[in-house]
Structure 1
Amino acid sequence: MSHTAYPNYRDIIQSPEALRSWKDNLTLEPYRSYLYSYPHKTSYRALETKLPLSDLWSQELANTFFLYMHIPFCGARCGFCNLFTLPDKRANVHAEYVDALERQAAQWAPFIQKKPVARFAIGGGTPTLLEPLQLDRLFHIAQHVIGMDPVQASISVETSPETVTDERLAILKSRQVDRVSMGIQSFIESEAEAIYRPQKPQEVERALEQLKLHHFPILNLDLIYGLPGQTLDSWIYSLDRALSYEPEEIFIYPLYTREHTIVKPEQIRQSGEDQRVRFYSAARERMLASGYTQYSMRRFAKAEAGSGKSLLPYGCQEEGMIGLGCGARSYTRSVHYSSRYSVGRSATASIIADYVAAADYTHADYGIVLSRDDQQRRFILKALLHTEGLALSSYVDRFTSSPLIDYPELYLLVHTDLAAVEHEVLRLTEEGLMYSDAIGDWFISPDIRARMESCVLS
């Protein structure tokens, strides 16, 4: 049986006071951590022995793969960013990097070409910072080195306002990209400046007008609430400006500060951390009234949004993530691996330089071997933090046991009205969705939490 983090959960449930106290402690700081994957990347370490990728991928059970390419370059590091990215606009540096990525893809191809690619995403950093020739090469690598079929795969690319040009968008269109995602964060210049983002509102509007002219099937826009100096009125203003372009998707993110980010925790406190629940609730109400459907705490989309392609299936709980490029993570069922992770400029530059200079990309030497406990927790979280919820039978099919037996502390969510079990599906309530980040943080295993807390970033 899995390790149970809350052996006294029965005592808590039987005491109304203890139950209220547990919920208050959980929801007091709802934005402590953004857990977009599990286990968190700060739990990765140097592996005891190098693992041959041929062995890892020959044992992978996923029927289709998700191909991801990471471009770790951007024009400037935003104040909230702790991603693996380096401010560097030099075209020759970008070209050398794409050369390395193509070498890596060629060495990985024999291990991963046996199953089709259902999803392909290019992220960063800012992929469209690349010159058009190098940007187009990424699609060539995906199609002709890895074997991705653009007719059967959903293709997504991240961009930023200042890198949106007709030439780059024409490349994305010709390569059958069906989703373009652009981070805006705020339409108000002073709020952008507060997070060290060199962005003018008129530049954002210009980029949006160009994007709309190219008629991509899905346009996604990212916004952030809880910015220093932001008010509820200014937050709703930015949201309304985004809605005026009728994007198929909108992601809303609370502002986080992490180790090595430029924006510091005290700046968030000065902006009124306790107001962010109000910001979330107001935005949710606005988007639902505008015809959007909520799919997670962050994602709102038009119900009819889609590429029109006949796509291969790929589920959110699947593994089979192929990460090409420095900073990309790869997921097999039992091993997650990547290059080393850093946020500091000099360390990031050094890691990228080692990647570009490497001759052999055929072994995993940095990552984590998932215990059965963490495989189960990952499976639960990947479903529970989305509105479709966790189908209890899917867990039984995968692990031949019940999630509510393996993790009876999940009943705490039910008894505090943060979740409910209906038709054999454990699903977060409306209130539970609002506290998704707190719930994700709460469900981290003790072993993973210890690794995260002992991580030292450079």
Structure 2
Amino acid sequence: MYPSSHEKESASDASAIRSWSESLRSDPYRSYLYSYPHKTAYRELQPRVPLSELWRGEQAETFFLYMHIPFCGARCGFCNLFTLPDKRRDAHLQYVDALERQARQWAPLVSHKPFARFAIGGGTPTLLAPELLDRLFDIAEEIMGLDPEKASISVETSPETVTEDRLRILRERRVDRVSMGIQSFIEAEAAAIYRPQMPLEVERALELLKREPFPILNLDLIYGLPGQTADSWLYSVERALSYGPEEIFLYPLYTREQTIVKPEDIRKRGGDLRMECYFAARDLLRRSGYIQHSMRRFSKEDEGSAKTLLPYGCQEEGMVGLGCGARSYTRNLHYASRYAVDRQATASIIADYVAAERYDTADYGFVLNEAEQKRRFLLKAVLHSEGLAFTAYKDRFGSDVRNDFPELEMLLQSGMAVVEQGELRLTDEGLAYSDAIGDWLISPEVRERMEGFGFA
């Protein structure tokens, strides 16, 4: 494990900085920090927090509405998300009934701010029957008050669930971003991560998607798969590019607690090629006219919605998460249902959600004090190519980020970051190691809770 970010005071000389950067480079894929604080830092809240009080004081000018559909056709070998392989229509119907019940209770609490974003994720939302998928939009618009003319709307899908009737619903509901996980165009590589996916099925889904006028098609790919080579990885990237997606996400393979794929599966091929694959794909995408926004996200310069959208801050506060497994973010509190990966535990949590009559308190989450709010603001900005604006931080917190986080000097002295026009940005090398940098910046308090989390 590389040195804590809080040890910077004793590591100011050149040799210490060199040692720090070498330790960072030696373990670039230690952890993927999807959000901060991480969901494994959440704990039971005592006392429970009434949502009426929580949302009344939320300072975000606009909100983000998210719905989580925790069902999928099969659990992939890399997945540690809150999702359950379950294709039963009656289970889906009961779940959507519960989501609507929750929405009716939450709507009066969050109706004082407009929704600038709406996303449906999972799981696989398009696993739902068309009439249930359509009903999610009714809940968003008729109950939650979403204006589809002013909000960016995104939906996740998978190749086997892309059908003409489902795409018709998305088109009619003004969806402007469809995201599909492909991971690999090579059947053997998909099989190695326990993903029952045929290349012809992927091609069929892509052909259907490209006929539709969605402003943004996003495709997800994963590198570092068992048996994958740098050449086979670039083949998948090139196949994805041939469909002209407006956005591509490149994810390194992670093996984590309770994922089916284990570290030894990566080592079987004799070496870890993830960094080599990253650089090869990054360079190809840049040559192809894509702009890099983070270690993972690349987009075409002209990607975007034709709508006149309401503004929404990149810090993702004001996140209203409906559904079991959805996280909600206010400035002072992040909360959700309990988290599990094990099938039995996940099914039990979903069953409790479906059976519940009231959803008007937060009972599981993380309270952010000012120090953690500052750290979240820093992390959300610095891990993206747009960088951290010093004035934005000072406007929010009234202090200088360089004084609050002197360890940032380590990034500058090691060449992982630069300061330009009052903004701290990661260099190309820093972006490549941004997962390790994000893990390094976790506070000791959050790390202790993460390490103490017991998977069910």
Q: TM-score range by the shorter chain?
A: over 0.9
C-alpha change, 1:293 and 1:6, in structure 2 (3 Å) is closer
Could you say which residue in structure 1 is the equivalent of 2:199?
Answer: 201
> Letter of the aligned partner of 1:173 in structure 2?
R
2:80–2:258 contact (8 Å) kept in structure 1: yes
CA distance in 1, matches of 2:237, 2:270: 19
Query: Any idea what the Cα deviations from partners look like across 1:294-332, whole Å, max 9, x if unmatched?
Result: 000000000100111000001211400000000000000
After TM superposition, the structure 1 = structure 2 runs for residues 36-435 of structure 1, keeping only pairs within 5 Å, are 36-271=34-269, 274-435=272-433
1:372 CA drift (Å): 1.3
Equivalent position of 1:437 in the other structure: 435
Question: Structure 1 residues 137, 404: CA separation in 2 closer, same or farther (over 3 Å shift)?
Answer: same
Contact 2:4 2:440 in 1 (8 A): no
User: Within 1, Cα distance between the matches of 2:316 and 2:272?
Assistant: 35
Q: Relative to 1, partners in 2 of residues 1:359 and 1:7: Cα closer, same or farther, differing over 3 Å?
A: closer
Q: Secondary structure at the match of 1:386?
A: coil
3-state SS of 2:371 partner: helix
Q: What is the CA RMSD across the aligned residues, in angstroms?
A: 1.1
- Extract unaligned runs of 5+ from structure 2: none
- Given that 1:226 and 1:273 are in contact with CA atoms closer than 8 Å, whether structure 2 keeps it comes out as no
- Assess, with a 3 A threshold, how the Cα gap between structure 1 residues 72 and 273 changes in structure 2: closer, same or farther: farther
- The match for 1:12 is 11
Q: Look up the equivalent residue of 1:200 and give its one-letter code.
A: M
Distance (Å, rounded) in 2 between the aligned partners of 1:376 and 1:273: 38
Distance 2:292 2:270 in 1: 25
Q: Is the 8 A contact 2:224 2:272 kept in 1?
A: no
Give SS of 1:69's match.
strand
Is the partner of 1:158 in helix, strand or coil? strand
AA aligned to 1:303 is: E
**Distance in 2 separating the partners of 1:419 and 1:274:** 25
In 1, distance between residues paired with 2:368 and 2:207? Answer: 45
**Partners of 1:273 and 1:397 in 2: how far apart?**
47
User: Structure 1 residues 142 and 13 mapped into 2: Cα distance closer, same or farther (>3 Å)?
Assistant: same
CA gap 1:273/1:440 in 2 versus in 1, 3 angstroms: farther
Distance 1:6 1:95, change over 3 A: closer
Q: 1:360 is aligned with what amino acid? A: R
In the alignment, the residues of structure 2 paired with residue 432 and residue 243 of structure 1 have an alpha-carbon distance, to the nearest angstrom, of: 25
Taking the aligned partners of 1:398 and 1:5, their CA distance within structure 2 comes to 26
Deviation per CA, 1:170-209, whole angstroms, max 9, x where unpaired?
0000000000000000000000000000000000000000
Unaligned runs of 5+ in 1: none
**In structure 1, what is the Cα distance between the partners aligned to 2:114 and 2:387?**
27
CA contact 1:91–1:130 (8 Å) conserved in 2: yes
Shift of the 403–215 alpha-carbon distance from structure 1 to 2, 3 Å rule, reads: same
Question: What SS is found at the alignment partner of 1:408?
Answer: coil
Q: 1:153, CA displacement in angstroms? A: 0.2
Residues 135/8 of structure 1: CA separation in 2 closer, same or farther (3 Å cut): closer
- Distance in 2 separating the partners of 1:268 and 1:342: 24
Once the two structures are TM-superposed, the CA of residue 271 in structure 1 deviates from its matched residue by 3.6
Do the aligned residues in 2 keep the contact of 1:226 with 1:271 (CA within 8 Å)?
no
Give the counterpart letter for 2:30 in structure 1: R
SS of alignment partner, residue 268 of structure 2: helix
Sort the Cα spacing of 1:262 and 1:149 in 2 relative to 1 into closer, same or farther, 3 A: same
Please report how far the alpha carbon of residue 7 of structure 1 lies from its aligned counterpart in structure 2 after TM superposition: 5.1
* Alpha carbons of structure 1 residues 7 and 333: separation in structure 2 relative to 1, 3 Å: closer
1:40 Cα deviation after fit? 0.1
Structure 1 residue 5 displacement after superposition: 5.5
Compared with structure 1, are the counterparts of its residues 371 and 273 closer, same or farther at alpha carbon in structure 2 (3 Å cutoff)?
farther
Question: For 1:76, what is the secondary structure of its paired residue?
Answer: coil
* CA positional deviation for 1:13: 2.7
Counterparts of 1:172 and 1:8, CA distance in 2:
50
* TM-score (normalizing by structure 1): 0.98
How far the C-alpha of 1:272 sits from its partner, in A, is: 5.1
Structure 1 ranges of 4+ moved more than 6 A: none
The answer as to whether partners of 1:227 and 1:271 remain within 8 angstroms in 2 is: no
